[in-house]
Amino acid sequence: MSKLKEFWNQAVKFSLGKGKLDAKERFSVKLDKLFDILTCKCQITSCEGGGCDGCVIQAHINCSCSREKRIPLKDLAYTKGQKEKVGSKGSHQIGGPDLQEHKRQADGDEDLELESVAEDEFVPEVELFPETEPEPAASTKVQKNYALASVRYGIGLRPTAAIATAALIDAGIITEDNTSKVIDKNKVKRAQEKLMRELGEEFEEKCREMGGISCILFDGRIDLANVMMEAEGSDQSFPAKIREHYYPCWFNVKVKHSWIKGPRHIQFQLDCLKSQRKEVLDLVRRSAWYAHSEAILQTLLCSEDQKERIEERIEGVERILAIRGEGDPDTQLGDSSVRTRRTPDINCDASSIGDLISWSEGVSEPPLTCLLSTSEVKNVIKTPMEIEVFE
């Protein structure tokens, strides 16, 4: 490394125009020669000068260096030529690889290696992992019945996955040591899509065999999409379909999509479905997530600044005060501990959002008011509570 640094410093000095002219010329001559980094500095003589013409080595050296520092005999002639050459060419040049010689030497080395291994030391290859038919992926093991039942009864992906996984646990297929058969919602979705494709292909095949289908009929006695509507102020009724109620609800949600409007959508849905059958109302009850006391109270506190809305804010404040009970208005806060959130039973005959549920038990105030003192909650009567808009 020191020789490289010294050589580099000389090159930098001469490139800047420093140094004597004769030293610069000697340096230029040295640039055309092989940079000598060999540890052995012993003199090399050619066979021509030694009187041994026809020698295979073509060069000799009287070296007194240690074995690890000596130059190999086959490299003597090349090293001597590189040290003495001037310019880009010398008596010895590096050519391309001799593929024939390389193959010969490689084959010889391989033969020597094989001969060195004794026959009694040979160990036959043991097949540790015998080849077996690959097991189908866990996602393909979701039974067809799971997908069919979930599509038939309109069960979501997550509930279907949870029920199917629980069934496999009960059957002993899923254990603590083997959880590869656990079913998630993505596996259920793929199973449903595969099932629907198969059913679609089967339906198309039947259509081709039967010569096509001209129309599809339904039985109004069992089809819940067919309902009877009663005209207001009259005893007459007329047939209708659920979609006549679905579209107004859908557009109402699209226009008023703030999360504090959830209880009002439940009320609007009940107003549209009062003429429906009991089975339809049961579906509304099961999906009345926004009828929880927390959501209703938050909607009451955020009611607009109108006469009828002020009454709603008063109702919301009074119900929160009833939940909190007696206490110092300036220091009393709401209960922010972990609570059970259960979809409540709704009153299908409710005329306002405050009448949607029973306030006798299992009610709690909104999380956003738990950090407000009782005095601050009372101020909501004058000014509606403002919240972040989460679309």
pLDDT digit string, tens, across residues 323-366 = 888 888 888 888 888 888 888 888 877 888 888 888 888 888 88
How large is the average pLDDT for residues 11-19? 80
Residue 283 near residue 270, CB atoms below 8 Å: no
Give 151's contacts (C-beta < 8 A, 6+ positions apart). Answer: 192, 195, 196
Distance CA 195, CA 151 (A): 10
Residue 234 corresponds to which tokens in the numbers above?
């009259």
Q: What type of residue is 387?
A: I
Q: Which of 34, 39, 35 is nearest to 67 (CA)?
A: 39
What are the E-state strand segments in 62-154?
none
Distance CA 40, CA 20 (A): 30
How large is the average pLDDT for residues 162-182? 88
Q: Which of 296, 301, 367, 297 is nearest to 338 (CA)?
A: 367
Residue 315 corresponds to which tokens in the numbers above?
């109702």
The model's pTM is: 0.38
Distance CA 331, CA 169 (A): 51
How large is the average pLDDT for residues 261-290? 76
How large is the average pLDDT for residues 219-228? 55
